[in-house]
A and B are shown apart, each in its own frame.
Chain A
Amino acid sequence: MTGLLGVLLPAVPLVAGLAGLLLPPAPRGAAGGEGPARRAAVALGVTGAAGALAVAVALLVTLDTPTEAGTTWLDLAGLRITLGVRLDGAAALVAVAVAAVALAVQVYSVGYLRRGPHDDLDVDHRYPPYAAQISLFTAAMLTVVVAGDLILLLVGWEVMGICSYLLIAHDRRLPEAPAAATKAFLVTRVGDVGFLLGIALLGVSAGSFRIADVLAHDHATGTLTAACLLLLAGVAGKSAQFPLHTWLPDAMAGPTPISALIHAATMVAAGVYAVTRLFPLFVAAPVALAVLGVMAATTLLLGAFAATAQDDLKRVLAWSTVSQIGYMTGALAVGAPAAALFHLLTHAAFKALLFLAAGAVIHAVGTTLMSRMGGLRRSMPVTFWCTLVGLGALAGLPPLSGFWSKDGVLAVAQTAALDGTGPAPAWVGWLVWLAGLLGVAVTAWYATRLLLRTFFGELREPLLHPHDPPALLRWPVLLLAVPAALLGLAAFLPAFADRLAVPAARLAVPADGPAEELVHLGPALLLPTVLLLAGAGLAWAGWRRDPTEDPARALGPLRPVLAAGFRLDDVQHTLVVRPVRALGRLARTADETVVDGAVTGTGRAARGLGGGLAALHRAALPRAAAGVLAGALLIGLAAVLIGVTS
């Protein structure tokens, strides 16, 4: 029964997506807009997501013990690939989050991608492929969530990548969208080279790609460390960790609901989730966890600082995603997958909320630049309050959800640092803990700045008459505000905590200690709260001095560097993109002149030789006669010689 639910979970949106792809992509004739194809696409998309949500909730309710179900997909000699699901509490919870965000995005998109009264006549949102691609995206992420086999996980993993590519490139009016989409896919694909190799190493070592078999097998230490490090490359790509995070800010070229989908519960969450799935392997490979810790701390601070200097509302949120995922991978590095998953869930709620609310703002103002917003508090009260909840949760304001989950991460890091309890060395704990604490202050600073620049002060574009969005956009935002505010309190529910703790409970290592706690009430909570107030206070003070100026001016000469994300894009361009392009040109030239040149050269030489011989044979009589005689002489000589020797 639960196995069937697990299969249905990705199957429902998959069917909706495939059916949606068959609809005509563009309306026939000029009528467009609300054609029958669009209505069918809306129905398919919403039904698919709602169906997935229903299945996920049913799974969450009925699943009491971890379940496996599956069948052989491919049996190679000594290597088995299975087509199966592996369900546990954490999988069910993440599935619910994925399906809920997908449903919100599907509903929101109906209102967001509609031809407005001010749009040009030729605006055609190509809604049927868009909705179908969201459905496929959801199906792919749910495949990753339930996959019981590494190859099946890879299928979901990569299909998600290609769907993100298609969706980021969806907006045909943005000239930068195709480049951003290509970059998103290629950067993650480079990481996936490592992911594939890691999977291959593990599968070959265990003789099976089934996750249960891989976890149960006793791998050689070297193989395991190499495999885990390789897997981390893929995780870094998907979850936008340094140095493969560069695609994520550019991915903002996608429509805003897509940003919400990619940043909240899918895509970027997949990397973290995959590590929790295979966590026992990482526990046995402390080197990989140490690398993950360094990656996490770097990403966390890099993302937070880059977010401080952005003027584009969506880019602030994008960089904040990079930074928040850093908290999750940090939690993994110090050995707390449950804390990572908890933050993943709360982040899914508040980041989806923030993006959809930002979409409402962009919809109303017609720009993504904060320097052209301001004073929206009065004219868009619903959006304002929802954004306030989201930003509070992001910064970790008690008692909103982010507070509890971030505290969970910091508390585990603290214990790992002070007591050295984590599976990785203690310095990893220190690194994650200190970076996390600094991150709290910086996060509070940029969250406050975003709020003040967008909603407070005076309206900078006086001609605009912004207003709260229509119901189709408003309701998803309002409903997402509930978990963004309250999900943190769920940690006090034993049922919730138990489900999240399932992956950790299977660990071989902490046999003595009690089950990991999600929330840690105590004096340690004060430190992050103080840092939060300090960060928010600084931003407020900067704004207070001159409400028309950007608090980011306090960054001084660092501002352009931070705004460009530490210029890592340029580094990537110089070190990877340009050399590869040059190599491509070189390979082409070499192939055409050397390899093919040798072939055509052979042909030409043969023809030349033939021509030469032909010319020789067209000799005048005296020379021809001399030739004949010389030949006769040679033959005679040869006959004599042979005759002598034999």
Chain B
Amino acid sequence: MRFGEFLLLAVLAVPAVGAVAVAAIPRDRAARLVGTVVAGLTLLLAALLATGDRSWTTWAAGTPAVRPWHRLDLPWVPGLDLRFHLGVDGISWPLVVLTALLTLLCCGYTLWRVPPGGSGRALVALLLVVEVGILGTFLALDLVLFFLFFEVVLLPMYAIIAGWGGSAVPGGPSARDAARAAARKFALYTLFGSVLLLVGVYVVVAAAGTADLVALTGGAGLSRGTQLAAFVLLGLAFAVKSPLWPLHSWLPDAHTQAPTVGSVVLAGVLLKMGTYGLIRVAVGVAPEGARWAAPVLGALAVTAILVGSLVCLAQTELKRLIAYSSVGHMGFVLLGIATLTATGLQAALIGNVAHGVITGLLFFLAGAVKDRTGTGSLAELSGLRETAPRLAGLLAFAAIASLGLPGLAGFWGEALAVVAAVQVGGAFWTTLAVLAALGGALTAAYLLRLLRRVTHGRPSPAVGRVAPGLAGAELTAWAPLVLLALAIGLAPTLVLGVADAPVAALVEVLR
């Protein structure tokens, strides 16, 4: 077994074994510590995946559009022709690293604080299982395997939301009930998407006779009708996960009710399974269907940007506002994908990573504010910069990064999506570009409204009690995200440099 194959296997096996170990260790704190070490090891392995031969320049006609840096191809269920086929390339690697990083930060954060509701070690074990599922989704090169990993995530996430989440709604159900309801909605809604995914996968596999993504990319051997059907099914499934308006309504509840670490993983990487699937599977396998559906996808993406931003303007709860902001931001990512150009796909990739970093940070900070003040209602929060200037400063940084300030990570995804829409040209796409750019202004409006409510003014009673300091664990968890937001903003090639060649190859087969 070569080093690359070993890495691919290890990056999934380590957190899987780690999850079992964490669940088995009886002492809570020790178990959490083991979990954090395992997550750190996984991050190291994920980062190492970029080593080795990345000979992308040897492009020639006839080579497949997906050319992984490393791949592992083992027979799994020979009778059903299922293969355990993993691979990593420039499209998946940044997301793999992001997943490993956010999981590590969440495990580290749990080392310091366990949300009420259950034992810390169970939470860490579940986080590791979720990590396995997400990493597997990003690494799978077999369509059936992709589907399996896609589903692995669902139940542990349900348990995290239902078990450790919850915030009471005034006049509504109790915190516990609200969390259960949100978790149920999340699970049922995404299961509905999974059913479509399953049907789509089998439409493709039955028509093409193979589940190998490397062979399938480019729509080889699929008739136009099959491609349209496959894209509709797969596109809908991924649209639920991403989420694309109007299939987003599971997201605000789930994000609001989830514990801090759950929200971070949900917003940071779970949504990316949808957009990644859209690029790798839906667009890759059914390019003709993608071309056919692109205008609809683009129009819905822009609607998501505008509606998401407008809803945020009228939102009164901190976490709910950030959750809805995800709808708008993922709208930019989906707009980039819908253009089906190299610029647009690049915009989607960097938008994905930037949104993971920035929204992860925002959820950490919102969690910190809620933990300290005991409320997330914007009406009860004000004057945070008087009592906790550092926390307020970090919140301002995250909000500014989220509104897409040039020079920070969020900018590239949004600006390049607009540029890509302009690049496609024509009245329709130019209108979409204009509307998306207007959505950028609305994004600024709601984030500044958030800052004005939370940080400015005289301290409210809830904020007046807040101590100015930050815990070391908090700073440790947040600092990498702050630095990444800055680093990706200043050097977008960190993400796009590796994605250059695979995106070019993908666009080549889209023509």
| Interface of A toward B, CB cutoff 8 Å | 21, 24-26, 73-79, 126, 129, 151, 154-155, 157-159, 162, 165-166, 169, 172, 175, 177-179, 182, 185-186, 189-190, 192-193, 196-197, 200-201, 203-204, 580-581, 583-588, 591, 595-596, 599-600, 603
With A79-B419, A159-B406, A193-B440: A587-B307 Cβ-Cβ less than 8 Å: yes
Query: Of B249, B311, B468, which one neighbours A599 at CB under 8 angstroms?
Result: B249
Query: Would you call B249 and A595 a contact (CB within 8 A)?
Result: yes
Residues of chain A contacted by B245 (CB below 8 angstroms) = 595
- Min CB–CB distance A305 → chain B (angstroms): 29
**Max chain A Cβ within 10 angstroms of own Cβ: one of B248, B310, B313:** B310
Query: Would you call A178 and B457 a contact (CB within 8 A)?
Result: yes
Query: Would you call A196 and B418 a contact (CB within 8 A)?
Result: yes
- Min CB–CB distance A122 → chain B (angstroms): 10
- Min CB–CB distance B245 → chain A (angstroms): 8
With A178-B456, A193-B440, A595-B246: A79-B343 Cβ-Cβ less than 8 Å: yes
Inter-chain CA distance A476–B444, complex, in Å, is 36
Q: Which residue of A lies closest to B496 (CB)?
A: A74
Residues of chain B contacted by A193 (CB below 8 angstroms) = 434, 437-438, 440-441
Q: Which residue of B lies closest to A581 (CB)?
A: B313
Residues of chain A contacted by B314 (CB below 8 angstroms) = 581, 584-585, 587-588
Query: Would you call B437 and A79 a contact (CB within 8 A)?
Result: no
Query: Would you call A197 and B492 a contact (CB within 8 A)?
Result: no
Query: Would you call B389 and A126 a contact (CB within 8 A)?
Result: yes
Query: Would you call B448 and A186 a contact (CB within 8 A)?
Result: yes
Residues of chain A contacted by B51 (CB below 8 angstroms) = none
In order of increasing CB-CB distance, the 9 nearest A-B pairs are: A584-B313, A77-B342, A178-B456, A587-B310, A596-B249, A584-B314, A155-B406, A588-B314, A25-B389
Inter-chain CA distance A42–B52, complex, in Å, is 49
- Min CB–CB distance B127 → chain A (angstroms): 27
Query: Would you call B456 and A75 a contact (CB within 8 A)?
Result: no
Inter-chain CA distance A151–B311, complex, in Å, is 30
Query: Would you call B393 and A580 a contact (CB within 8 A)?
Result: no
Q: Which residue of B lies closest to A597 (CB)?
A: B249
**Max chain B Cβ within 10 angstroms of own Cβ: one of A25, A74, A182, A583:** A74
Task: Tell me which residues from 385 to 413 in chain B have a Cβ below 8 Å from any Cβ of chain A.
Answer: 385-386, 389-390, 393, 396, 400, 405-407, 411-412
Could you mark each residue 420-452 of chain B with 1 if its beta carbon is under 8 Å from any beta carbon of chain A, else 0?
Answer: 001101000000011001101110110011001
Residues of chain B contacted by A157 (CB below 8 angstroms) = 406
Query: Would you call B310 and A588 a contact (CB within 8 A)?
Result: yes
Q: List 19 A-B contacts (CB under 8 A).
A: A76-B496, A77-B504, A78-B343, A158-B405, A159-B407, A162-B405, A179-B452, A185-B448, A186-B444, A192-B441, A193-B434, A197-B418, A197-B434, A580-B310, A584-B311, A588-B310, A588-B315, A591-B307, A595-B246
Q: Which residue of A lies closest to B435 (CB)?
A: A193
Query: Would you call B390 and A25 a contact (CB within 8 A)?
Result: yes
Inter-chain CA distance A607–B379, complex, in Å, is 36
Residues of chain B contacted by A583 (CB below 8 angstroms) = 310
Task: Tell me which residues from 262 to 319 in chain B have a Cβ below 8 Å from any Cβ of chain A.
Answer: 307, 310-315
With A76-B346, A197-B433: A204-B419 Cβ-Cβ less than 8 Å: yes
Q: Which residue of B lies closest to A122 (CB)?
A: B386
Query: Would you call A186 and B422 a contact (CB within 8 A)?
Result: no
Inter-chain CA distance A26–B415, complex, in Å, is 36
Inter-chain CA distance A201–B493, complex, in Å, is 23
Asked if B202 is an interface residue, CB under 8 A from chain A, the answer is no
Residues of chain A contacted by B440 (CB below 8 angstroms) = 189, 193, 196
Asked if B189 is an interface residue, CB under 8 A from chain A, the answer is yes
Q: Which residue of B lies closest to A599 (CB)?
A: B249
Query: Of A74, A129, A172, which one neighbours B393 at CB under 8 angstroms?
Result: A129
Could you mark each residue 230-259 of chain B with 1 if its beta carbon is under 8 Å from any beta carbon of chain A, else 0?
Answer: 000000000000000110111000000000
Query: Would you call A197 and B507 a contact (CB within 8 A)?
Result: no
**Max chain A Cβ within 10 angstroms of own Cβ: one of B189, B342, B448, B507:** B448
Q: Which residue of B lies closest to A159 (CB)?
A: B407
Query: Would you call B422 and A197 a contact (CB within 8 A)?
Result: yes
Query: Would you call A182 and B452 a contact (CB within 8 A)?
Result: yes
Inter-chain CA distance A538–B503, complex, in Å, is 70
With A584-B314, A588-B315: A178-B504 Cβ-Cβ less than 8 Å: no
- Min CB–CB distance B405 → chain A (angstroms): 6
Size bin of chain B's contact surface: 35 or more
Asked if B98 is an interface residue, CB under 8 A from chain A, the answer is no
Inter-chain CA distance A322–B246, complex, in Å, is 44
Residues of chain A contacted by B124 (CB below 8 angstroms) = none
| Interface of B toward A, CB cutoff 8 Å | 185, 188-189, 245-246, 248-250, 307, 310-315, 341-343, 346, 385-386, 389-390, 393, 396, 400, 405-407, 411-412, 415-416, 418-419, 422-423, 425, 433-434, 437-438, 440-442, 444-445, 448-449, 452, 456-457, 468, 492-493, 496, 500, 503-504, 507
Residues of chain A contacted by B188 (CB below 8 angstroms) = 603
With A172-B386, A201-B422: A190-B342 Cβ-Cβ less than 8 Å: no
Query: Would you call B343 and A591 a contact (CB within 8 A)?
Result: no
Inter-chain CA distance A204–B430, complex, in Å, is 12
Inter-chain CA distance A26–B392, complex, in Å, is 12
- Min CB–CB distance B384 → chain A (angstroms): 12
Residues of chain A contacted by B468 (CB below 8 angstroms) = 26
Inter-chain CA distance A154–B406, complex, in Å, is 7
Inter-chain CA distance A77–B339, complex, in Å, is 14
Query: Would you call B310 and A200 a contact (CB within 8 A)?
Result: no
Query: Would you call B422 and A200 a contact (CB within 8 A)?
Result: yes
Query: Would you call B389 and A158 a contact (CB within 8 A)?
Result: no
Inter-chain CA distance A363–B159, complex, in Å, is 61
With A26-B468, A78-B342, A179-B452: A196-B444 Cβ-Cβ less than 8 Å: no
Q: Which residue of A lies closest to B249 (CB)?
A: A596
Residues of chain B contacted by A179 (CB below 8 angstroms) = 452
Query: Would you call B396 and A166 a contact (CB within 8 A)?
Result: yes
Inter-chain CA distance A126–B457, complex, in Å, is 15
Query: Would you call A189 and B307 a contact (CB within 8 A)?
Result: no
With A126-B389, A189-B441, A588-B315: A77-B507 Cβ-Cβ less than 8 Å: yes
Inter-chain CA distance A159–B397, complex, in Å, is 12
Query: Of A21, A76, A178, A603, which one neighbours B416 at CB under 8 angstroms?
Result: A76
Residues of chain B contacted by A129 (CB below 8 angstroms) = 389, 393
Q: Which residue of A lies closest to B248 (CB)?
A: A595
Residues of chain B contacted by A584 (CB below 8 angstroms) = 310-314
Query: Would you call B493 and A79 a contact (CB within 8 A)?
Result: no
Q: Which residue of A lies closest to B458 (CB)?
A: A175
Inter-chain CA distance A599–B493, complex, in Å, is 41
- Min CB–CB distance A244 → chain B (angstroms): 12
- Min CB–CB distance B313 → chain A (angstroms): 3
Query: Would you call A591 and B445 a contact (CB within 8 A)?
Result: no
Query: Would you call B444 and A189 a contact (CB within 8 A)?
Result: yes
Residues of chain A contacted by B310 (CB below 8 angstroms) = 580, 583-584, 586-588
Q: Which residue of B lies closest to A169 (CB)?
A: B456
- Min CB–CB distance A600 → chain B (angstroms): 8
Residues of chain A contacted by B492 (CB below 8 angstroms) = 73-74
Inter-chain CA distance A603–B415, complex, in Å, is 39
Residues of chain A contacted by B442 (CB below 8 angstroms) = 580
Residues of chain A contacted by B452 (CB below 8 angstroms) = 178-179, 182
Residues of chain B contacted by A603 (CB below 8 angstroms) = 185, 188
Q: Which residue of A lies closest to B452 (CB)?
A: A178
Inter-chain CA distance A175–B185, complex, in Å, is 42
**Max chain A Cβ within 10 angstroms of own Cβ: one of B249, B412, B418, B492:** B249
Inter-chain CA distance A591–B252, complex, in Å, is 11
Q: Which residue of A lies closest to B486 (CB)?
A: A18
Query: Would you call B493 and A74 a contact (CB within 8 A)?
Result: yes
Query: Would you call A197 and B437 a contact (CB within 8 A)?
Result: yes
Additional 18 contacts, C-beta under 8 A, given A129-B393, A581-B314:
A21-B393, A74-B412, A76-B342, A76-B346, A77-B343, A155-B406, A159-B405, A177-B456, A189-B444, A197-B433, A580-B313, A584-B311, A587-B307, A587-B310, A587-B313, A591-B249, A595-B249, A596-B249
With A76-B346, A189-B444: A200-B418 Cβ-Cβ less than 8 Å: yes
- Min CB–CB distance B58 → chain A (angstroms): 18
- Min CB–CB distance B319 → chain A (angstroms): 15
